[in-house]
């Protein structure tokens, strides 16, 4: 319990010094940020004295960590809101369109030929855990990426991350550029099938992305994908 500097014997009012009030103000702010009160009682001795420097160093570190988490949360939210807004018009288009996409940081793992829905959910979860283990922050923008060449097609599942993690084997970048795009339901690209009127020249190499589209309402029975083809 914080001992007041002075108590009015007639009224019972408690009075505190500026240092004590500063301490109380920081405690209230920390409680608003979800930091337990009991953490701060450790800095008050039995006589009500405050170890101010130790307290301030501790409180600053906790609030900086909280601020970083809030800033990251805001950044993630903005990514998704922008994705929803951008695709409101795009998903209504019936013909291909071209748009510039910036460079994207991703982590990826191979995607096989098994049951699509089961494998997709399992590997997205695996990627999220991989990001957490390596202190990476995901934007939750995810999908499939195909590296198509005349001799073979390599397919991976990916999720975008905010950080550059070049030291991680699963990390890579999707290059910036003009992508030819179209939105559709439940695409799974197969290099043996027509590509929604997007004709590919077989002698060239392509990066083809099936990017999951966030919509204003989450639907569990269907989903929208934007097919993105980097123009060589």
Tell me if residue 108 falls in helix, strand or coil.
strand
Q: Which has more confidence, 22 or 35? A: 22
Cβ-contact 173, 209 below 8 angstroms: no
Residue 162: count other Cβ atoms within 10 Å of its Cβ. 15
Residue showing tokens 């002075």? 6
Q: Which has more confidence, 51 or 105? A: 105
Cβ-contact 209, 157 below 8 angstroms: no
Mean pLDDT, range 173-192, rounded to an integer? 78
Residue 127: count other Cβ atoms within 10 Å of its Cβ. 23
φ, ψ of residue 181 in degrees (nearest 5): -130, 160
Strand ranges for 93-213 from DSSP E: 97-101, 104-110, 138-148, 153-161, 171-174, 177-185, 206-212
Choose the most confident range, by mean pLDDT, from 34-43, 137-146, 187-196.
137-146
**140, exposed or middle or buried, with CB in 10 Å at 0-12, 13-18, 19+?**
middle
Q: Which of 1-5, 37-41, 69-73, 83-87 has the lowest mean pLDDT?
A: 1-5
Residue showing tokens 């084997």? 169
**Residue 193 above 60 pLDDT?**
no
Question: Among residues of the chain, what percentage have pLDDT more than 70?
Answer: 85
Mean pLDDT, range 61-68, rounded to an integer? 85
């Amino acid at each position: 319990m914080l001992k007041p500097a002075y108590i009015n014997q007639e009224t019972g009012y408690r009075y505190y010094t500026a240092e004590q009030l500063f301490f109380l103000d920081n405690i209230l702010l920390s409680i608003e940020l979800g930091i337990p009160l009991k953490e701060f009682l450790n800095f008050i001795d039995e006589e009500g004295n405050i170890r101010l420097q130790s307290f301030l160093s501790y409180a600053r570190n906790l609030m900086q960590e909280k601020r970083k988490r809030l800033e990251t949360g805001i950044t993630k939210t903005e990514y998704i809101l922008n994705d929803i807004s951008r695709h409101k018009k795009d998903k209504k288009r019936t013909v291909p369109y071209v748009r510039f996409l910036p460079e994207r940081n991703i982590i990826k793992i191979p995607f096989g030929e098994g049951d699509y829905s089961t494998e997709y959910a399992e590997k997205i979860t695996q990627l999220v855990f991989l990001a957490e283990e390596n202190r990476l922050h995901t934007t939750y923008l995810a999908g499939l990426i195909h590296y198509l060449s005349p001799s073979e097609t390599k397919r991976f599942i990916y999720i975008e991350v905010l950080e550059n993690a070049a030291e991680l084997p699963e990390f890579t970048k999707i290059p910036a550029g003009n992508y030819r795009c179209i939105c559709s339901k439940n695409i799974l690209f197969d290099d043996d099938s027509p590509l929604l009127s997007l004709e590919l020249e077989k002698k060239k190499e392509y990066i083809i992305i099936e990017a999951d589209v966030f919509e204003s309402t989450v639907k569990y029975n269907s989903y929208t994908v934007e097919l993105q083809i980097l123009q060589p």
